[in-house]
Structure 1
Amino acid sequence: MHWPDTLWSCTPAPGSPCTPGPTRKQEPGAGPNAIAFLDRWLAEDPSAPQTRHLNWHAALQALACGDFAQARRRADEALDRADVGMRSATNWRLLRAGQAPAGRCDLEHVRALPAAPGGTAEVFHTFNLALALAVEAAGDDLYALAARAADDQRPDFREVLAPVVRALAEVVAGHPQAAVDLLTGLGEHVERIGGVRVEREIVQDTLARALVDTGEHTRAAQLLDRRRTARRHHAYEDHLLAPATRPPTERSSIAAAPSPVPAARPTSPERPDHAADGAVRPYPAPPVGALAFSLPGRRLMTLPPHIIVVSPLGSGTTLPLRITNALGYTPHGTMSDAGDTPATGPGPGEVEPLLRAAYGREASVRLLRGEHAELQGAFRTAITALWRVWWTRLGQPVTHASPVHPTLEHRLAHHLETPLHHLLPGRNAWYVTGLDLSRADADLLRTWHGGGGPPIVLHQRDIRDRVISQIRLLTGPADRVGTLPEHLVYRDILTSLPTMDARITLALTDPCFPGMAEGRHGQWLRRHPRVCVIAHEQLAGPANGGTAGARDQVLTVLLNALGRPDATDLPDLSTPPARDPDLMVGAWREHFTAEHERLLERHHAGLLAPYLDRPALPAHVPAPRPGLPTT
């Protein structure tokens, strides 16, 4: 194999004249002394063919002693743009340590190398190509390369390279635990990747950083213990072990390449959306054009990628919607057309797993290598099917008519390799009006019970205000009612009644009145210690009958539950909502009579909120049940 201008030239084979000396200097972490030694060597013969390689080793020594600026300078000044292996090894190590990379490779050039003659002839060079793809955040290329290696008949490719490349893809996709699982079992087999100690340490660096990102700092420190104790300079290892406390700057982040397909929302009316608790609209068509997802925010923010928000009809769902929009979630389900946050495109590494689950490995590789239009159409179809399956698993009604073939839905519904919510692209808030244990998918509930499912937030409101809100909606302008079947039916019934008194009496005595069944079947949510319960009365703010203090406290509870206690200063969160008649606390007092109170006690005593006359939870006290005020 001979690539004089690309990978081969920048990573000489073990045993070449320029390899042993610099490598021996690398092992004890000689740092400045090694750099001076290499510079003297370079000064004696600046035109030597090993100049670029020796400068690379000097950059590695600069990394070891924490001189990241020098490492970047040497990479930029000494390495050609086509020096894929050395440049990518330097940049990947810089990125693992949370540092800005040097100049990057041309992604299209890197993508072309595997298809070149001898492009994947050797495991060592293929590993360097994978590093280059990882630096460029080309997650779907990495998944495809990993699949190709897994199907290779050569043991080193199948048994070692495949899991390493897949781990790089998982890191790029923001799944450090998956990377840990893939790399932990390799042990000494990683030596079969070839190269010298530097390449094997890059795999170790990747595992150590992934351990830190999953909270296993002790294991990461043990992994690097020999390097930290044996080397005179180990600032690089110290940076690897440092927790990420803030998102990196634009230059220091892994830049996400534009996604090969656009963001999409369901095109089938699984359950029509009703913005502001009533105005029903069909799902919007998928936007046209590719959208890039900002990988740094996804990787280093601690927000879960998906959350489930249960907000019964009439609860004033625009209040939690405002919060999830501010946190960057795209709303789906009952509020998918009411958010100000545009639908995000799939992030790095989010396309290939879904394509593989939907169409199989061979078809997914063919799609990723084929025409963009075909890939785009296949992904849109897969995401529509996936969202229908996910909506069904949440126990929500779907229409029998579907724009996707039932075989595709069946395949995704029975996909066991990856938890279904891990296939959902982007950061999503799934709004539902109820979560009935008898209707939700059993595997979904078991996964959530075991800590593997999306967090659940219950947004609750005094049932009396919910009743008034529903009556106002259904007897108001027709264009706000939409096409939700129960709303259409009860609009006819309510408008036939002459007075508000009669309408309230109907709502309290009819078990099928919109929102009542969801309330009865969802009482487990407000009792479960892992459900974050937030109250409308606390979120409403001073303009709507609440208080600023109660709102601050419940925001603290919610943001802590989502892992973002630092987000309280976001403009949309720090500013209380403006006055809105639909959000007023205690609006029921104007309409409820003593007879209505008796009917409520007789038919719905269990739905009365237990928190209304109790003090809110202090912000500084950890909640045994997040969001539930204590007595």
Structure 2
Amino acid sequence: MSAERVLAISPRKSGTHLLQQLMVRLGYGIYGEPVPPEAGRAAFSLRERVELAERFAAPAEFADVDVRSDTDEFVRRTDRLLVQLGWVWQVRLAARNLSNLDLLMPDADFTMEMSPLAWTRPFNQTPPRLCWIFHSVDIWKMDQRFLHEWTVEGEPRIVLNIRDPRDALVSMVDFFAGEGGLKFRRFPESAVFGPILQSIPETADRITYALHDPAMPLLADYEAAISLLHHPEVCTVAFEDLVGPRGGGSRDAQVEATRRVVAHVDSGLDPEHLVDTLFDPGSFSFHKGRIGRWREVFTAEHEALFAQRFGHLLKVFGYER
């Protein structure tokens, strides 16, 4: 039987949609920072929802609703509870650049009183069949109960997705500039980087700006991932492998990368039957989806600046050559 819970770390613009699509094909719902496809929206039985309410909500929040006679209302409230449970685990996992849903969507009515135990219950009491995806976590601030659980029980299974940081930077610049992305409000991206890069008309000048702004999130995401890259219990896959022929890679590399993820989560599915649908131009933040695009837009000055600021990342993650 497949691992019930997976935690995936995928730095911004490293091809998160490819890993997300693979996890959906493996039968997982998606929670976290990317926008999941319809097939990846988690679905839970009434029994699972009852367990969630009992474990994580203050008793008063469900005292006036009966799961059988008021099923629609019960589902609505547990949907709210799931959103807030996600917020709790974003904090406990020390995910960076959290989005405050109450602030972004004040009319959505997410407010619900949580049980104090929500902050101490183990990760294995979160909903099953979920893959949680974050761009970056801080292992020094991560809940130590979670780290102990992962060490002792071996779950959740952790997957790290990486990409050539130069291509990630180009994709990030396009995203913040509104080309194939930034169609939603998220701070500080939509408040700071979006307006800045949208005010710069030329791609080359945008890249130059991004290479000079120390607040651009590329460095933080990748440096936070270095420890996971070297951890023997973390499965690392690369955009360049998962993207396959349609993005400039090879099918053999795509199948092999998929095979490693399948084995890591103990799935019995055949990688050969999974890979052909990973490349999805309809993904929310999809733009170009190609290997080596940085070569088309980097100038000699960009290469020198990147080597000065981020050259160590190329070496650590295997992209120096």
- Normalising by structure 2, report the TM-score: 0.82
Task: Tell me if the contact between 1:543 and 1:578 (Cα under 8 Å) persists in the aligned partners.
Answer: no
Relative to 1, partners in 2 of residues 1:356 and 1:481: Cα closer, same or farther, differing over 3 Å? closer
Name the counterpart of 1:354: 52
Q: Distance in 2 between matches of 1:363 and 1:494?
A: 44
SS in 1 for 2:78: helix
Task: Tell me if the contact between 2:18 and 2:278 (Cα under 8 Å) persists in the aligned partners.
Answer: no
User: Can you list the C-alpha shifts for 1:20-73, whole angstroms capped at 9, x where unaligned?
Assistant: xxxxxxxxxxxxxxxxxxxxxxxxxxxxxxxxxxxxxxxxxxxxxxxxxxxxxx
Q: What one-letter code is carried by the residue in structure 1 that aligns with 2:293?
A: A
Relative to 1, partners in 2 of residues 1:357 and 1:575: Cα closer, same or farther, differing over 3 Å? closer
**Is 1:338–2:37 an aligned residue pair?**
yes
Unaligned runs of 5+ in 1: 1-301, 615-631
Relative to 1, partners in 2 of residues 1:458 and 1:347: Cα closer, same or farther, differing over 3 Å? farther
SS in 2 for 1:450: helix
Relative to 1, partners in 2 of residues 1:515 and 1:410: Cα closer, same or farther, differing over 3 Å? farther
Task: Tell me if the contact between 2:178 and 2:198 (Cα under 8 Å) persists in the aligned partners.
Answer: no
Relative to 1, partners in 2 of residues 1:511 and 1:450: Cα closer, same or farther, differing over 3 Å? farther
SS in 2 for 1:472: helix
Q: Distance in 2 between matches of 1:578 and 1:414?
A: 38
* Pairing partner for 1:605 from 311, 315, 318: 311
Q: Distance in 1 between matches of 2:74 and 2:39?
A: 28
**Is 1:404–2:111 an aligned residue pair?**
yes
Task: Tell me if the contact between 1:458 and 1:525 (Cα under 8 Å) persists in the aligned partners.
Answer: yes
Task: Tell me if the contact between 2:55 and 2:115 (Cα under 8 Å) persists in the aligned partners.
Answer: no
Name the counterpart of 2:235: 532
**Is 1:508–2:214 an aligned residue pair?**
no
**Is 1:495–2:198 an aligned residue pair?**
yes
Name the counterpart of 1:465: 167
**Is 1:553–2:260 an aligned residue pair?**
no
Structure 1 vs Structure 2 CA RMSD: 3.1
Task: Tell me if the contact between 1:456 and 1:532 (Cα under 8 Å) persists in the aligned partners.
Answer: yes
Name the counterpart of 1:484: 186
Which shifted more, 322-331 or 500-509?
500-509
Name the counterpart of 1:427: 129
Corresponding pairs, count: 306
Q: CA deviation at 1:403?
A: 2.8
Task: Tell me if the contact between 1:330 and 1:341 (Cα under 8 Å) persists in the aligned partners.
Answer: yes
Q: What one-letter code is carried by the residue in structure 2 that aligns with 1:573?
A: V
Q: Distance in 2 between matches of 1:550 and 1:486?
A: 36
Task: Tell me if the contact between 2:179 and 2:287 (Cα under 8 Å) persists in the aligned partners.
Answer: no
Q: Distance in 2 between matches of 1:471 and 1:388?
A: 27
In the TM superposition, what are the counterparts of 1:26-65 in structure 2 within 5 Å?
none
Task: Tell me if the contact between 1:319 and 1:540 (Cα under 8 Å) persists in the aligned partners.
Answer: yes
Task: Tell me if the contact between 2:8 and 2:159 (Cα under 8 Å) persists in the aligned partners.
Answer: yes
- Using CA pairs below 8 Å that are at least 6 residues apart, which structure has the higher relative contact order? 2
Q: Distance in 2 between matches of 1:601 and 1:436?
A: 25
Q: CA deviation at 1:386?
A: 2.0
Q: CA deviation at 1:593?
A: 2.6
Q: Distance in 2 between matches of 1:361 and 1:469?
A: 46
Name the counterpart of 1:592: 298
Unaligned runs of 5+ in 2: 103-108
Q: Distance in 2 between matches of 1:552 and 1:347?
A: 37
Relative to 1, partners in 2 of residues 1:502 and 1:361: Cα closer, same or farther, differing over 3 Å? closer
User: Can you list the C-alpha shifts for 1:209-240, whole angstroms capped at 9, x where unaligned?
Assistant: xxxxxxxxxxxxxxxxxxxxxxxxxxxxxxxx
Q: Distance in 1 between matches of 2:35 and 2:4?
A: 16
**Is 1:326–2:28 an aligned residue pair?**
no
Q: Distance in 1 between matches of 2:78 and 2:319?
A: 47
Q: CA deviation at 1:529?
A: 1.0
Task: Tell me if the contact between 1:325 and 1:331 (Cα under 8 Å) persists in the aligned partners.
Answer: yes
Q: CA deviation at 1:487?
A: 2.3
Q: CA deviation at 1:518?
A: 1.6
User: Can you list the C-alpha shifts for 1:603-625, whole angstroms capped at 9, x where unaligned?
Assistant: 112321543479xxxxxxxxxxx
Task: Tell me if the contact between 1:310 and 1:458 (Cα under 8 Å) persists in the aligned partners.
Answer: yes
Which shifted more, 319-328 or 511-520?
511-520
Task: Tell me if the contact between 2:3 and 2:267 (Cα under 8 Å) persists in the aligned partners.
Answer: no
Relative to 1, partners in 2 of residues 1:576 and 1:342: Cα closer, same or farther, differing over 3 Å? closer
Q: Distance in 1 between matches of 2:67 and 2:20?
A: 39
**Is 1:389–2:88 an aligned residue pair?**
yes
Q: CA deviation at 1:376?
A: 3.8
Q: Distance in 2 between matches of 1:305 and 1:522?
A: 23
SS in 1 for 2:45: coil
Q: What one-letter code is carried by the residue in structure 2 that aligns with 1:611?
A: G
Task: Tell me if the contact between 1:465 and 1:588 (Cα under 8 Å) persists in the aligned partners.
Answer: yes
**Is 1:451–2:149 an aligned residue pair?**
no
Q: Distance in 1 between matches of 2:99 and 2:171?
A: 25
**Is 1:303–2:9 an aligned residue pair?**
no
Q: What one-letter code is carried by the residue in structure 2 that aligns with 1:546?
A: G
Name the counterpart of 1:293: none
Task: Tell me if the contact between 1:307 and 1:454 (Cα under 8 Å) persists in the aligned partners.
Answer: yes
Q: Distance in 2 between matches of 1:360 and 1:353?
A: 13
User: Can you list the C-alpha shifts for 1:586-617, whole angstroms capped at 9, x where unaligned?
Assistant: 00001223332222222112321543479xxx
Q: Distance in 2 between matches of 1:361 and 1:484?
A: 32
User: Can you list the C-alpha shifts for 1:476-508, whole angstroms capped at 9, x where unaligned?
Assistant: 359744212232211222233353333222222
Task: Tell me if the contact between 1:543 and 1:577 (Cα under 8 Å) persists in the aligned partners.
Answer: yes
Q: CA deviation at 1:309?
A: 1.4
User: Can you list the C-alpha shifts for 1:536-573, whole angstroms capped at 9, x where unaligned?
Assistant: 01111112111111111111111111112543243x43
SS in 2 for 1:388: helix
Q: Distance in 1 between matches of 2:9 and 2:218?
A: 12
Relative to 1, partners in 2 of residues 1:524 and 1:410: Cα closer, same or farther, differing over 3 Å? same
Relative to 1, partners in 2 of residues 1:355 and 1:555: Cα closer, same or farther, differing over 3 Å? same
- Normalising by structure 1, report the TM-score: 0.44
Relative to 1, partners in 2 of residues 1:413 and 1:541: Cα closer, same or farther, differing over 3 Å? same
SS in 2 for 1:445: helix
Q: What one-letter code is carried by the residue in structure 1 that aligns with 2:318?
A: Y
Q: Distance in 2 between matches of 1:487 and 1:510?
A: 13
Relative to 1, partners in 2 of residues 1:523 and 1:352: Cα closer, same or farther, differing over 3 Å? same
Q: Distance in 2 between matches of 1:554 and 1:394?
A: 26
Task: Tell me if the contact between 1:331 and 1:430 (Cα under 8 Å) persists in the aligned partners.
Answer: yes
Name the counterpart of 1:372: 70
